[in-house]
């Protein structure tokens, strides 16, 4: 039934009213998430820009292409448009990471191994896929958890243990910024 047909067939004078309407916030977030996934990407960029500029005025200086690329990488994590600010905070604000925060997510005995493997492979960062591939190989050889190495790198790059893939993060931040953030912790 089309919207016009529905409007013609809806008789508001015969509707029963209920005491109140209950909204399920979880379901509303799910619906919103599905809507965000289906919306045209260029339209999504337009909708997110207002939120980003309000929180991070420097977002106005990004090219349309840069902004589009950033949003593309976090689109799957958006349940509301406002969440774009927290999803891309790491891009605009360098995270402050301490070894205590790292130790909350990675065992102490693994931290130095993670640092060593990242340091040994940092020269390959110009090609993020090659970097990831070499890190995986070295982790396997040295019996170090790949998951912990990537968690360490993600913490250094974003301040969070989870998020986009390492290659995506390097592409998003740029090689220079990624190296600067990683070197601080290795």
d(CA 74, CA 72): 6
pLDDT band (50, 70, 90) for residue 6: confident
pLDDT of residue 9: 78
pLDDT of residue 4: 82
d(CA 29, CA 39): 15
pLDDT band (50, 70, 90) for residue 143: very high
Q: Which two tokens stand for residue 26?
A: 């979880």
d(CA 172, CA 92): 11
pLDDT digits (tens, 9 = 90+) for 30-48: 999 999 999 999 999 999 9
The alpha-helical segments, DSSP class H, found in the chain are 3-9, 25-38, 41-55, 64-74, 84-87, 89-92, 99-105, 108-121, 128-141, 146-158, 166-173, 175-183
Percent of the chain with pLDDT over 70: 95
Q: For the chain, which residues make up each domain, given as ranges?
A: 25-92, 99-183
d(CA 149, CA 123): 16
d(CA 181, CA 59): 20
pLDDT of residue 12: 67
d(CA 37, CA 26): 17
pLDDT of residue 23: 80
Is 106:144 a contact under the CB 8 Å cutoff?
no
**Nearest CA to 148 among 94, 87, 103, 95?**
103
pLDDT of residue 133: 96
Over residues 114-127, the mean pLDDT reads 95
Q: How many residues comprise the chain? A: 186
**pTM above threshold 0.75:** yes
pLDDT band (50, 70, 90) for residue 19: low
Fold of the domain spanning 99-183: Arc Repressor Mutant, subunit A (1.10.10)
């Amino acid at each position: 039934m089309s919207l016009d047909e529905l409007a013609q067939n809806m008789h508001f004078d015969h509707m029963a009213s209920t005491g109140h309407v209950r909204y399920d916030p979880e379901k509303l977030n799910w619906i919103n998430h599905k809507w965000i996934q289906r919306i045209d990407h260029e339209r999504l960029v337009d909708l997110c820009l207002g939120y980003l500029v309000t929180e991070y005025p420097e977002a106005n200086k990004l090219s349309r292409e840069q902004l589009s690329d950033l949003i593309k990488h976090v689109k799957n994590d958006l349940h509301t448009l406002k969440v774009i600010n927290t999803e891309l905070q790491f891009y605009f604000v360098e995270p402050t990471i301490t070894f205590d925060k790292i130790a909350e997510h990675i065992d102490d005995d693994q931290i130095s191994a993670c640092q060593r493997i990242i340091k040994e492979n940092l020269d390959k960062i110009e090609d993020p896929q090659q970097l990831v591939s070499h890190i995986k190989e070295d982790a396997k050889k040295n019996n170090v958890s790949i998951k912990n190495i990537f968690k360490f790198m993600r913490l250094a790059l974003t301040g969070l243990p989870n998020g986009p893939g390492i290659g995506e993060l390097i592409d998003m931040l740029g090689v220079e910024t990624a190296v600067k953030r990683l070197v601080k912790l290795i």
